[in-house]
Structure 1
C-alpha cells in the first residue's frame, strides 16, 4: 500500500491545469513547426526529422525553463508527460499543417 506522502503528492486540479497548459503549448508549437516545415519545402523524412528535432528542443526548454529541471513536481509521470506521451498526439496536427502549408506555397507556383 502506498504511504500518505505518495497519495497526497499531487493536487489533482493543479496537475490537470498543468496538463492543459502543456497540451496548449504542444498544439501551438506543432502548428508553428508544421508551418515552418511547409514553407521551407521539407518533404519525406526530412520533415519528420525536423519535427523530432524541434520536439526535442521544445521539450528540453519546457523541462529546463518551465519545470526547472524537476518535472515530477508538476506532472504525475514526470518527463514522460512532457516529452514522450503527447508526441504522437501532436504529430497528426503537425502533418496536417505541414502538408497544407507545403501545398499552398509550392503547388501553385
Structure 2
C-alpha cells in the first residue's frame, strides 16, 4: 500500500515545471560563470576547477534558498536532481562560452 501512495506523491506537471526552472537556472549560471572564466583568462584545469567550485555554490544556493533545505518536496530524486543530474548538460555550454570569451578577450595577446 505504501508503494501506491508514492505513485501519487508528486503531480507530474509541477515536477516538470520545477525541472525546467532548475535547468534554466543552471544554464544561465553556466553562461555567466563561463563568461567570467573567459574574461579572467583561466585555461586548462583552472577553468574546470572554477566551474566545479561555482557549480557547488549555485547548487547549494538553489537547495537552501529555493528548496528551503528540502528538495524532496519539489523533485522526485531529491538532491541528485538539484546538483548531480544537470551538471553534464551545462558543462558543454560552460566550455563553449568560456572558450568564446577567452578568444574574444585574448585574441591579440
Please classify the TM superposition score into its range, dividing by the shorter chain length: over 0.9
Verify: 1:72 aligned to 2:76, yes or no: no
Cα distance between partner residues in 2 of 1:108 and 1:76 = 49
State the number of aligned residues: 109
Structure 2 length normalisation: TM-score? 0.96
Verify: 1:22 aligned to 2:54, yes or no: no
Cα distance between partner residues in 2 of 1:31 and 1:92 = 10
Structure 1 length normalisation: TM-score? 0.96
Runs of 4+ in 1 over 3 A off after TM superposition: none
Q: CA deviation digits over 1:56-107, x for unaligned, max 9?
A: 0000000000001100110011110010011001000000000000000001
What is residue 90 of structure 2 aligned with on the other side? 90
Cα root mean square deviation, aligned: 1.1
Unaligned runs of 5+ in 2: none
